[in-house]
């Protein structure tokens, strides 16, 4: 077993800041753990890391993924059919995390964490080198269920902010977010989109003013043009459904082009 010790939240925040300091924008690809079989996970993480991803968001398959669109839901179903669980992903990372140089962020729901046991989950996540956590169905008001344990383990708890959030809510979430603030660019679930709301620029200005950490745009981003468009108003992007589709198609060059579109020319 690897004895890797990562710096968790500090690792994540320094990786994002280093990227921004050199004039690039942040690129965080999303992959579903176990899509295509768990044996594919480490090679995919290595490929994304070596292709220039700043950090990687790693989805945990779940039977009721309320925030996910069809592409990510289908990837989750494929992983569940391979009997992939939160524990099997953590156990694999405990063995192989040393191969991945960039921060890893888990995206999971609160039910699998409850089932695992909150204290056990946080301890195991730390040992597996998890740097951040996104829990889309855990309301801000209930985050004390896990926030103290995460703070002790130095794992960032990342907040999602929607377009429909009130000014007060935006301030609350942006100031609480650790690692980065996850700004949702569309109303609804994840999935590729052809255009974005015109009022996004003002929304991102408000978010960046309120946030102590970088603000990343996510949901619906699927082309290099989208990446460049969002990079003009945000500190970087998170791309999920398109990455999953391209991995399915084995189109690795298109993934590299997406990542390269955030780099200083």
Active site residues: 57, 68
Let me know: does 223 contact 190? Beta carbons within 8 Å: no
What is the 8-class DSSP label of residue 198? Answer: T
Phi–psi pair at 66, nearest 5 degrees: -65, -25
Is residue 134 classed as helix, strand or coil in its secondary structure? Answer: strand
Phi–psi pair at 117, nearest 5 degrees: 100, 115
Question: Could you identify the residue written with the tokens 């890893």?
Answer: 104
Distance CA 261, CA 117 (A): 40
Return the H-helix or E-strand segment holding 113: helix 110-116
Distance CA 49, CA 53 (A): 5
């Amino acid at each position: 077993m690897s004895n890797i010790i990562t710096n968790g939240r500090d690792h994540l925040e320094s990786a994002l800041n280093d990227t921004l300091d050199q004039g690039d924008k942040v690129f965080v690809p999303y992959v579903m753990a176990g899509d295509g079989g768990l044996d594919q996970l480490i090679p995919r993480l290595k490929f994304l890391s070596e292709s220039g991803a700043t950090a990687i968001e790693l989805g945990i398959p779940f039977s009721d993924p309320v925030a996910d669109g069809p592409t990510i839901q289908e990837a989750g179903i494929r992983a569940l059919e391979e009997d992939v669980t939160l524990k099997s992903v953590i156990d694999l990372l405990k063995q192989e995390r040393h191969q991945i140089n960039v921060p890893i962020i888990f995206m999971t729901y609160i039910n699998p964490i409850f089932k695992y046991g909150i204290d056990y989950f946080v301890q195991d996540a730390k040992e597996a080198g998890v740097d951040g956590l996104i829990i889309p169905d855990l309301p801000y008001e209930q985050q004390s269920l896990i926030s103290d344990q995460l703070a002790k383990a130095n794992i960032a708890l990342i907040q999602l902010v929607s377009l429909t959030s009130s000014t007060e809510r935006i301030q609350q979430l942006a100031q609480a977010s650790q690692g980065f603030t996850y700004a949702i660019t569309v109303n609804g679930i994840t999935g590729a989109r052809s255009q974005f709301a015109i009022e996004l620029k003002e929304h991102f200005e408000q978010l960046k003013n309120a946030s102590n950490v970088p603000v990343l745009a996510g949901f619906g981003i699927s082309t290099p043009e989208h990446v460049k468009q969002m990079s003009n108003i945000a500190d970087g992007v998170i791309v999920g459904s398109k990455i999953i589709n391209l991995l399915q198609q084995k189109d690795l060059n298109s993934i590299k082009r997406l990542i390269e579109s955030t780099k200083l020319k």
